[in-house]
């Protein structure tokens, strides 16, 4: 009878560990999906601001490092952008896309998440 209890306890513990592993993966995937939608929202906001301020000439390269134009600085300081961990935003070399990279290990790491939008 003691063996039955031990086997039941072992099965219960292994089941709880399996739930913990799957739960952790589900939480990670949920966070990544939320961050991706947040980045898409930020890039849509960028495209909207670009139309409102009627700016056609954006120089390729990193955004959020300069002080000009003011609407880009305001976009870089917006909660949509600043709440992403280690975010980097850039204009593609042909100036046709905005690309955002972010992640806990930095925006240039192998595990960085990437989203882009046509301008």
What is the phi/psi pair of residue 100, to 5°? Answer: -115, 135
DSSP state of 111: T
Residues of the chain whose pLDDT is less than 50?
none
Instruction: Pull the structure tokens for residue 73.
Output: 């600085």
Query: Residue 30 is part of which domain span?
Result: 2-118
Check residue 25 and give its pLDDT: 86
Alpha helices, DSSP H only, in the chain? 2-52, 70-76, 79-82
What is the phi/psi pair of residue 38, to 5°? Answer: -65, -40
Check residue 37 and give its pLDDT: 92
DSSP state of 39: H
Nearest residue to 91 via CA among 45, 47, 60, 115:
60
**Cα–chain center distance at 93:** 22
Number of domains forming the structure of the chain: 1
């Amino acid at each position: 009878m003691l063996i039955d209890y031990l086997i039941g306890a072992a099965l219960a513990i292994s089941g709880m560990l399996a739930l913990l592993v799957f739960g952790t993966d589900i939480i990670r995937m949920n966070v990544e999906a939320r961050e991706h939608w947040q980045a898409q929202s930020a890039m849509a906001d960028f495209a909207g601001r670009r139309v409102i301020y009627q700016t056609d000439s954006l120089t390729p390269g990193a955004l959020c490092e300069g002080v000009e134009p003011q609407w880009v600085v305001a976009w870089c300081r917006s909660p949509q952008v600043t709440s992403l961990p280690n975010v980097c935003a850039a204009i593609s070399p042909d100036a046709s896309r905005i690309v955002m990279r972010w992640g806990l290990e930095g925006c240039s790491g192998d595990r960085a998440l990437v989203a882009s939008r046509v301008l």
